[in-house]
Amino acid sequence: MTLKIERTAKRQCTVFALSGRLEAGQITELTELFKGEDRSVVMDLRELRLADRDAVRFLARCEGHGIKLENCPAYIREWMEKEKF
């Protein structure tokens, strides 16, 4: 299973829809994609099936920096909360 990233530009934000598996190896690529945006960034996680520990920590950092996480699976949301401690 790999990660698929779909970028959609909306009026006030750019949405990155992630599907598949998010692992540590894709974090750099996502970070670079976000740096190029001049509007707010939203990550739609509806189709995200698996994430490793580094990916969950990355998602928590993104949210802490103002990136909105839409449709975040419950297990990822719970894991993010546990990683804060």
Predicted pLDDT of residue 85: 58
Predicted pLDDT of residue 36: 86
Sign of the CA dihedral running 64, 81, 41, 2: positive
If you average pLDDT over residues 7-32, what whole number do you get?
95
Mean pLDDT of the chain, nearest integer: 94
In the chain, % of residues over pLDDT 70: 98
Q: Domain 3-83 is classified in which CATH homologous superfamily?
A: STAS domain (3.30.750.24)
The pTM of this model reads 0.91
Taking the C-alpha atoms of residue 53 and residue 37, their distance in angstroms, rounded to an integer, is 26
Query: 25 or 83: which carries more pLDDT confidence?
Result: 25
